[in-house]
Structure formats: structure tokens, C-alpha cells
Amino acid sequence: MSDVIADGKVVAFHYTLTDDDGTVIDTSSGKDPMLYLHGSNNIVPGLEKRLVGQSAGDSLQVDVPPSEGYGERQGPGAQAVPRSQMPEGVELQVGMPLQASGSDGQTVVLWVTELTDDTVFVDLNHPLAGKTLHFDVQIVAVRGSTAVEKQHGHPHGMDGSASH
Ligand code: ZN
């Protein structure tokens, strides 16, 4: 009997993620499958929930609303920051996350939304916030996790032996 997806299982799957218009946002096609440890918040909750009970060879389509994906958009939107205030040596790209210190000293993640010669626009919202996510998923493999993987809360490669 093959393993079915449940808490503590390591899952490898291929996926294509599209938006409401059918535009491909991301895909594992042509790459290694995505690996995650079920029950450890490695992937968006709406997708994780729907994979329970699936096993290797299964294909399914999953629609994830923003509330179970990257959240609803909030806040004032993108803010302009002078490039001179950015840390040196960072190759800025649209869509990349930046870590910053909030007013209370907490680490906040800001996403780069736009770049000009002297200004960087950043937003608190994940680029996929507010979007319904449409996943086309093929389950490649399901296995039990090792003690170390459970402890770390993520997989260590296809067979659990990878180090980092
Ligand atoms: Zn680890």
C-alpha cells in the first residue's frame, strides 16, 4: 500500500499555478518537483488542506481563495523608498522580499513592486495577496519523514538524507 498524504509525510509534487485569467504565475514543469513536509506550514494552507489523503500518481485541481492563500491585500499599498536607504550589495529585483525592521523592532517583510533609477517601491503585501490561486497538481511521491525532518519542520531532499 502506498503512503497517503497526512501530517508528518514528505510529499513531492509537480504543480502549475495560474491566476483567474489562466495566466501561469509559477510552475515546477521542467524542474525538480516541489517538496514539503505536511502539517508544517511549508505551503499555503488552502493547498495543504486539499492534498490530505492523496497518494503518488494522483492529479487534482485546487482553487485557493486569498484567505487560505497569501491573504487579502491590506494597508496603503506600495511606498517609495530612496535607493540610497537600501542596504548595499543587494541586487534588487521586482517581486523579491526584503527584510526590514518595523517601528517596534520586529522584522517585517516588504516586497519590491517597482524599481526606478533612484526609487524602490515596496509593499507589505505578498505579490499574490488578494488573488485566488488555481493549482494543477500531480503527486509524485509520498513518504514518511525522518526524525530530523520532523524536528526541522521541512524535508531534506527526496530521500531525507540531504544536509544543509
Ligand atoms: Zn533541516
Taking the CA atoms of residue 40, residue 43, residue 44 and residue 47 in that order, the dihedral angle to the nearest 10 degrees is: -100
Specify the pLDDT at position 161. Answer: 94
Q: How far is the CA of 116 from the centre of ligand 1 (A)?
A: 38
Specify the pLDDT at position 2. Answer: 72
Nearest Cα neighbor of 126 from 64, 75, 87 is: 75
- pLDDT of 86 > 90? The answer is no
pLDDT, tens digit (0-9, with 9 covering 90-100), for 28-39:
999 999 999 999
Q: pTM for the whole thing?
A: 0.85
Q: How far is the CA of 39 from the centre of ligand 1 (A)?
A: 15
- pLDDT of 19 > 70? The answer is yes
- pLDDT of 122 > 60? The answer is yes
Q: How far is the CA of 156 from the centre of ligand 1 (A)?
A: 6
- pLDDT of 104 > 90? The answer is no
Q: How far is the CA of 161 from the centre of ligand 1 (A)?
A: 10
- Residues measured by CB to lie within 5 Å of ligand 1, the ion: 152
3-state helix, strand and coil shares in percent for the chain, rounded to the nearest 5: 10, 35, 50
Specify the pLDDT at position 31. Answer: 97
Q: How far is the CA of 147 from the centre of ligand 1 (A)?
A: 10
